[in-house]
Amino acid sequence: MLPFAVRKFLYKGCQRVVTRMVGCVFCRIIARQAKATILYEDDQCVAFEDVHPQAPVHFLVIPRKHITSLNAGLSGEELLLGHLLQVASRLAKEKGIDGTGFRAVINTNAEAGQTVFHLHVHILGGRIMRWPPG
């Protein structure tokens, strides 16, 4: 396998090329230039169904502001980050997965599986979750 630094360099390059070519898909959803099943929105965030659900319930909560990931400078974003979790929790309750349980996931960078570089909280539920995650 290639050394980590080389993998990181190649991945960053690909990411920049793709974003330059097609723009950020989540910003496009926010702007209604791309379709999504919106569950909730307010002045700070938007929540919508994941297009490739990995569980009976699988939705995403994203900030309106384009923040690439938890690796971005997040000072001053404490209220926004808390708000995303509060909305996620409320929607999980509405979806009826609060009692049985659900998982909140924020994949950060390539080796954690991040594919869309606009911060998002995955909420998955409606089935038994295994640990450790793959």
Residue type at 54 in one-letter notation:
Q
Binding residues for ligand 5GP restricted to 67-126, rule: CB under 6 A: 107, 113-116
Residue 24's binding partner, choosing from ligand 5GP, Zn ion, none, with beta-carbon cut-off 5 to 8 A by kind?
Zn ion
- CA separation for the pair 35, 42 (Å, rounded): 18
Nearer to ligand 5GP, 48 or 102 (CB): 48
Token pair in block for residue 107: 């994949």
Q: Does 28 bind Zn ion (CB under 5 A)?
A: no
Answer yes or no: are the C-beta atoms of 92 and 125 closer than 8 Å.
yes
| Residues near Zn ion (CB under 5 A) | 24, 26-27, 66, 118
Which residues of this chain interact with ligand 5GP, rule CB under 6 A?
25, 34, 36, 48-52, 107, 113-116
